[in-house]
Structure 1
Amino acid sequence: MPQALWSAKRERQYQHIKDSLLERGKDEGTAEEIAARTVNKERAQHGESKTANPRTLRATPAPVRGGRNSHRGPQGRTRDQLYEDAKRQGIKGRSRMNKQQLEEAVGR
């Protein structure tokens, strides 16, 4: 609860993000900082703050982005995600493919 100006919704959002980060093994200070920054960014994008970084205002909000930037690390996309892409592309034999074969077939 770092900000007195936050609405009840933003307080719940902060607590939810913080709890999630703690469950994933982040330390208390890091979890609080990430949660506060995330809530403040959401507030700025929704016009709830007096000042905001122009880059923040141009960024696509997380609910709209819908995970578009996720799964780009060393593991990449999940097999299920690749399977759904293959399904959309109409790739034959997709149900018998493993993750590597799906990656090659989908072309990612």
Structure 2
Amino acid sequence: MPQGDKDKYTDKQKRKAEHIEESYEDRGVSKDEAERRAWATVNEQDGGGKKSGSGRDD
């Protein structure tokens, strides 16, 4: 099971990760690997557990 606290993610990000994970599992990827890939995808697309703000990274 991947490490990390998922509390900082939005509900939308959590749902997105769940759908991505299910998609990987449907293609025969193991549960642990599917979960790892799903969160890696969410992090890459959304910038991790950051809350949206002004849209600027200072």
Q: Would the TM-score normalized by the shorter structure come out above 0.5?
A: yes
Flag structure 2 segments of 5+ consecutive residues without an equivalent. Answer: 52-58
Structure 2 equivalent of residue 14 of structure 1: 17
RMSD of aligned residue pairs (Cα, Å): 2.2
- After the TM superposition, which segments of 4 or more aligned residues of structure 1 sit over 4 Å from their partners? none
Identify the match of residue 42 of structure 2 among 22, 39, 42. 39
**How many Å apart are 1:49 and its aligned residue?**
2.9
Q: Could you say which structure has the larger radius of gyration? A: 1
TM-score, structure 2 length as denominator? 0.70
Of all paired residues, the percent bearing the same amino acid is 30
Identify the match of residue 23 of structure 1 among 6, 11, 26. 26
Count residues with an aligned counterpart: 47
TM-score, structure 1 length as denominator? 0.39
Flag structure 1 segments of 5+ consecutive residues without an equivalent. Answer: 51-108
How far apart in 2 are the matches of 1:49 and 1:38?
14
